[in-house]
Structure 1
């Protein structure tokens, strides 16, 4: 049996036969990721639309900001880094990708996107921020390759993560 966590316009919920509100009621949660830490406790990361990332080390009872190093205010996707065991990736709005090697406590931007010509000119019709990374994946058997879908921008392909 496993729990399912859902981010909504009114916070985070755990679904396990019923829905249980876990906090962040004033946040629009646009991304959620759960994992077990070294002690076996469930850690939750919640990406919000406007206030960055929040972290809970106690299965959602308490939350604190967790986006040190991340400049983007809107986290749109959170995934385990398919190329670096134990690391996490976060796609944001504006369209950037950040990596965390410490369970989401601190983040560093991947420079590949910011090196693309015109990346600062990407736009979203509904937002003043430039583009949004919506999905990140590594194709099976792709030895270091990452793909990222960019809202109002297409598909980004990095051969070296």
Structure 2
């Protein structure tokens, strides 16, 4: 059966959908959708094809948009996306994830919501904000946001989250209680004798290796890390990279040892690609070594950055790799990063990139 690939883009001015066939050479673009709201994350449920887009801001308020017809029409709901009266209001939805029959939303200020009816209504998973460290969480450069959601693929009680700048937290009981899982990750902005705190790290991206739920990768403000025990301990894998700083990290859809990063030149040096030359960095040995992938990417006077959720893979063989820039370009590789093409330009700042493969 013929297939097509939808690349789902969250941007500062709505949702866009880029489409192609399995050759991944000719592209069309649709959008903007979601009434041009600021959209931080767009995902799809591969089982149903339903697309969800989370966003908002202090003016619009938070909401999750939903399309059951591949973007032709949209509805949205914010029912239940609120903290108790008298507390700081929810400004926006920053991340969405589906897993084990539920839909999760991470919000700003950092907190977790769950929907059991496909995004029609939401309930606050209050256990996370009841963690003893909550009064000490501090906002990162983008605010105090819950931006990474990693459900366990088969255990509906387990979930990992990443919060800037509080760190990684894990629940094994469906969200009633949480444990900080940051041992081994640095906080270089802390005094020297406090560089490895229990919490307070600025995690930028958190992803799970395919087929190995205990293997997690983390791009942090202060390094790149791998854990093989569900985040209980982290080991640095940044040797060989041009920078310890970056935002997105994505795993190969089938190989747990293959990971893609897009490092930037540092937190105070402009936050663009090192040496103003674009490259995606790939490891095929779980971080023991790294290779720069540049073919087709611009190599002169490149000053874009790539945000934490703006990189993704598809599930084809060979896997497609995609990333969007803060200057509105979408790049695609149909050969696992060996070569690249720019497939869209002049979009608003791209906040997120995800994929969906459907019957063509």
TM-score relative to the length of structure 2: 0.35
The whole-number CA distance in structure 2 between the counterparts of 1:60 and 1:156 is: 33
Aligned match of 2:225: 156
Label 1:131 to 1:14 Cα distance change in 2 as closer, same or farther (>3 A): same
The whole-number CA distance in structure 2 between the counterparts of 1:106 and 1:19 is: 35
Aligned match of 1:11: 63
The whole-number CA distance in structure 2 between the counterparts of 1:12 and 1:103 is: 22
Instruction: Identify the match of residue 76 of structure 2 among 6, 21, 30.
Output: 21
The whole-number CA distance in structure 1 between the counterparts of 2:213 and 2:112 is: 29
Residue 32, structure 1, aligned to residue 96, structure 2: yes
Q: CA RMSD in A?
A: 3.1
The higher radius of gyration belongs to 2
The whole-number CA distance in structure 2 between the counterparts of 1:55 and 1:61 is: 11
Label 1:52 to 1:121 Cα distance change in 2 as closer, same or farther (>3 A): same
**Aligned residue-pair number:** 145
Residue 65, structure 1, aligned to residue 124, structure 2: yes
The whole-number CA distance in structure 2 between the counterparts of 1:47 and 1:141 is: 24
* Counterpart secondary structure, 1:121: coil
Moved over 6 A (4+): none
Label 1:134 to 1:143 Cα distance change in 2 as closer, same or farther (>3 A): closer
Aligned match of 2:164: 93
The whole-number CA distance in structure 1 between the counterparts of 2:76 and 2:124 is: 18
Deviation at residue 69 of structure 1 after TM alignment:
3.5
CA contact (8 A) 1:135 1:149 kept: yes
Deviation at residue 110 of structure 1 after TM alignment:
1.5
Label 1:85 to 1:61 Cα distance change in 2 as closer, same or farther (>3 A): closer
Deviation at residue 108 of structure 1 after TM alignment:
2.2
User: In terms of mean alpha carbon deviation, does 98-107 or 15-24 score higher?
Assistant: 98-107
CA contact (8 A) 1:136 1:147 kept: yes
Gapped runs of 5+ residues in structure 2? 1-47, 57-61, 83-89, 138-143, 192-199, 231-360
CA contact (8 A) 2:215 2:229 kept: yes
